[in-house]
Each structure stands twice: as structure tokens, then as C-alpha cells.
Structure 1
């Protein structure tokens, strides 16, 4: 599937050296690649390696990786962080007599995060190496699932983007059909305006009239904008079929689409052409909104 979304979710799990783990990865859109990790403290340093692995598989998106690891044979023992508990007791005692403040209870203080932790089995150096090796495998597998999720979403978006591109091309064809009659219409309108001003059948010579109309026609010519729109449409369709990340290039192309459409509207001088130009801008904005989530 050629297009990849930046939105996705994947979950993995595994077990090794007496430990089990759960791994979750989710991603949303971002201009670049922003990876954030939440790993157990005893795996300090492994998160940096994991971040590099993510960078090898993804190019854009805000990616959140959450890993929890527990010992299978944990005896249920708890460890109290007595320094932190003493600090909390001191603060609680300081404000014990303040109006509107209920006295602190021991069970309430013990429930505060970081005061009590479940004791973890100490890993030997060899066990840690084995665990990290298996975690790497699990991380890669989960990233592959995430990429598949992003690809599925990208395939659904591709259908919608192709439909929007069809609409942009239809509106471009409408503009092209109108452009052929513009010089004739301008000629007649210019003559009518002159007659209203002077009341004469031929207020100026035909040669002068042709010169004036030629000047106006050059200023109002939209063929160049039509040609550029056609070129942009061809390029956009080609990008939608690419297998590599194209989100940034499509975003830049939308700026070019808007540039040509704004020029069309500024040169219009015709209510029908202006309406088509506004419709074009609307579809282009919708197209650009969707591609913000394309990798």
C-alpha cells in the first residue's frame, strides 16, 4: 500500500528470564519524528537504544512507547521509600492545624506514587542482556504491527484523496472551458461600457478598441495558471502512488495549488469563474487538511 498514515496503535507482550512485559506504541501526526519513552527505571539506558530502533522504522510522527516489565516469581514484597515518607509526614504535620485541611492518614500517604514500590528481583548482567535482546525483538515486531496499522489507515485515506483530486481536476476543466469565451465576453462588455459612457455607436476606432481589449486580455489571461494546475494535478497523482513518504511534498504541492487558484480568482472578473475558483480553494483546503496526517 503506497500511502502511510501517521496515526496508528500496536501492542506487544512477551516473557524471558523470569520476567513478563507489555509494550504499547501509538503514533499521531507531527512535522518530524518525535519519540517519547516510558520505560522501567531498572532498564535505564535501554530506552536510548529503543529510540534508535524506532527511528530506523519510522520517519515522521509523534510516537509514544510504553513498556512495563514485571518479575514472574515476585514474592509480593514491598519496599517503602522512607525518606520520601518522612518528607510527606513533615509537610503533613506542618499544615495539620490549618483550617479546612483534613489530617493526613498513613494509608493516604503510602498511596502516593513513589512512596511504596513492589520489590523487583535483581537481574544479573547476563540476565539483563538476555532480557534486552528479547525486548528488542518484541519492539521490532510491535513496530511492524504499528506500520501495518498506519498503512491500513493510509490506504483508506488514499481513496479519499484520489476522490478529492478528481474533484480538483473537474473544477480545473470547468475553468479551462470558461477561458475560451473570456476574450469575446470582454470585447462585448468593453464595447457596451463605452457606449453607455458616450452614447455613440463607435466612440473610438476599431483599431484602438482592439488595442485596449488586447491589453485587458493579457492581464486577465489564465492559460498559464491552467497549465500549472494541470502539472500539479499530474504530480499529485504520481505522489499518491509512491511507496516512500510523500507527506511533506504533498503539503508543498498544496501551497502551489492555492497559489494558482488565488491568481485565478484575482484575474477572474467573472462571477462564474470566481465561484469555480472558490470551490477549488475549498477542495484544496480539504485535501491539505487530510495530508497533514500522511507520513
Structure 2
């Protein structure tokens, strides 16, 4: 099943160091672009997080945010006495040079290293972080697939409409050819001098061949079959669909350029409208 590039998922996981939280959201993008927001305690795992996401997602602009909330009942913070002692000595020395210098308790506690939390087992924390990310990724990909299913329905409806127009044009082609032949014969009959019948027939055949759209209609049918096949694949197909839509558009343009009848001209316009509607949908497909 195809996947949308737009999705959101979140989750939490209780650990002995506190509650891990994770949010993952994505929007359309031509390639895979990852943006991570991590607390200081988890920054060491950024390469692993990027690698894990890239192994399961191929396209989209993704934003991952993780947090670690310490248990409310646990007094997990304590002063770094050595650091406080060093800062005290510096303060005494600076006070003599800057008598008006004042430092608040809040500013002191915010100084890096003054407050220390409970020691963390790096390997155990890594397992917890990756386990949470995997769970969130599962929900994230499931959301992408649900949205992708809706996109597939819309695209399928447009594809059936294209098939209907192509079938209608096939029924019109013999009528259009016959009508063009009658028009040419009527014009020749109005000439003051009779034309060579053999030459007229030869020119008529050449002219009708230039108006022949059977090949374009056959290719449209082939593209439709490929579109239906691709929509059933599990791997990312967004780029393939994008290229395929270019082929659809090429056939519609050729059909319009060869048209000598208002009905086929209108059909070419309708085809372009439907193709453009499909293109809008596949911009959101991974």
C-alpha cells in the first residue's frame, strides 16, 4: 500500500531515569530531511536516531522531538560541591574588583554543571530511546499508510475517468475520420478542374495518418495499467508515479495537437485536468 508523506505520531516510555517522550511529524519533501530536537542528556544518540529513521522512511521533511522528564517524587538533583566551591572562590576574587557585582541563586543554579542529576547507564538509556522511537515509528508509518490508502482511492477514481475518456475517443475516431474524408471530398468536388483520383487518395491517406491517435490511446491504456500496478506496491513509489504522470501528460498533449474535432479537443482538455488532479495527489506520496 502506498504511503502519504504527511503524518504525526507520539508516545511515552517510563524508565528508571524518568519518562521519555517522543513526537514525530512530517510534511511533503522531495527527499528525506530530518530535524531533531533533543535534550542534553540524549544528544549523544542523535546519529543512532537518524540512522533508525532513515532505515524506515525514504522521503519527507521530518521533525523529531524527544524529552526526558525526571520523576516528580524523586529528588534526583544535587549540587556539584566542587563546582560550587570553585565558583565561590571566583566570586570572592571578583567582588574585590567589582563591588557592585551580585549573583542570584537562580543564576547560580543555571550555571552548567552546578546541578547534577542521577547517573545514567548510557547503554541502557540507548535501548530505551530506540525502543520508544521504534514504537512511535510504527504508529507513524501506520498513519502514513492510512492516509496513503485514501490517496490511492482518489487517484484510482481519476484513473478510471481517464480510461473512460480514452475509450470514448476510440469510438469517435472512425466517425471523425469519415467526416474529414467527406469534407475533403466535398471541397474537391467544388474545384473547377477535376483532381487526379489516385493522387487525391494518396494525399488523403497521408493526411488521415497524421490525425491518427490510436498509438497515443494505446500508450494511455498502458500507462493506466502501470499506474494501477504501482499503486499496489509496498515500497515507496512517489517518484515513479511522478515520472509516469509526465508520460500521461505527453499523450494528452499529442492527442490535443492532432485533434481536428471539438469532441477530441474537449477530451484532451479533460484528460489534462484529471492528470493534473492526480499529480496534486502524488506530491504527498512517499
TM-score of the alignment, normalized to the shorter chain, above 0.5? yes
The alpha-carbon distance between structure 1 residues 78 and 40, as it changes in their structure 2 partners (threshold 3 A), is: farther
Report the equivalent of 1:270.
261
Deviation string 1:134-169 (CA, Å, 9 cap, x unpaired) is: 011000000000001001111111111111111010
**What is the TM-score with the length of structure 2 in the denominator?**
0.83
Report the equivalent of 2:195.
204
Specify every segment of 5 or more residues in structure 2 that has no aligned partner in the other structure, as ranges.
81-86, 88-102
Question: Equivalents in 2 of 1:251, 1:78: separation in Å?
Answer: 59
Given the alignment of the two structures, is residue 163 of structure 1 paired with residue 157 of structure 2, yes or no? yes
Cα deviation, residue 30, structure 1: 1.6
Given the alignment of the two structures, is residue 142 of structure 1 paired with residue 136 of structure 2, yes or no? yes
- Within a 5 Å distance, the mapping from 1:38-53 to structure 2 comes to 38-53=37-52
Deviation string 1:43-71 (CA, Å, 9 cap, x unpaired) is: 22211110000011111111110011122
Question: Equivalents in 1 of 2:278, 2:20: separation in Å?
Answer: 41
Given the alignment of the two structures, is residue 153 of structure 1 paired with residue 144 of structure 2, yes or no? no
Report the equivalent of 1:99.
none
**What is the TM-score with the length of structure 1 in the denominator?**
0.80
Classify the secondary structure of the residue corresponding to 1:227. helix
Report the equivalent of 1:248.
239
- Within a 5 Å distance, the mapping from 1:73-88 to structure 2 comes to 73=74
The alpha-carbon distance between structure 1 residues 287 and 132, as it changes in their structure 2 partners (threshold 3 A), is: same
Q: Do 1:220 and 1:267's aligned partners in 2 also have CA atoms closer than 8 Å?
A: yes
The alpha-carbon distance between structure 1 residues 69 and 173, as it changes in their structure 2 partners (threshold 3 A), is: same
Given the alignment of the two structures, is residue 187 of structure 1 paired with residue 207 of structure 2, yes or no? no
The alpha-carbon distance between structure 1 residues 179 and 117, as it changes in their structure 2 partners (threshold 3 A), is: farther
Cα deviation, residue 277, structure 1: 0.4
Cα deviation, residue 33, structure 1: 1.3
| Structure 1, 174-183 or 5-14: larger mean CA deviation | 174-183
Deviation string 1:11-58 (CA, Å, 9 cap, x unpaired) is: 011121222121100111222211111111232221111000001111
Specify every segment of 5 or more residues in structure 1 that has no aligned partner in the other structure, as ranges.
83-105
Cα deviation, residue 195, structure 1: 4.6
Report the equivalent of 2:170.
176
Question: Equivalents in 1 of 2:79, 2:27: separation in Å?
Answer: 37
Q: Do 2:2 and 2:152's aligned partners in 1 also have CA atoms closer than 8 Å?
A: yes
Cα deviation, residue 194, structure 1: 3.7
RMSD (Å), alpha carbons = 2.7
Question: Equivalents in 2 of 1:65, 1:138: separation in Å?
Answer: 12
Match of 2:223 among 223, 232, 242: 232
Question: Equivalents in 2 of 1:141, 1:223: separation in Å?
Answer: 52
Deviation string 1:96-139 (CA, Å, 9 cap, x unpaired) is: xxxxxxxxxx99xx99xxx7899864353x52321221011000
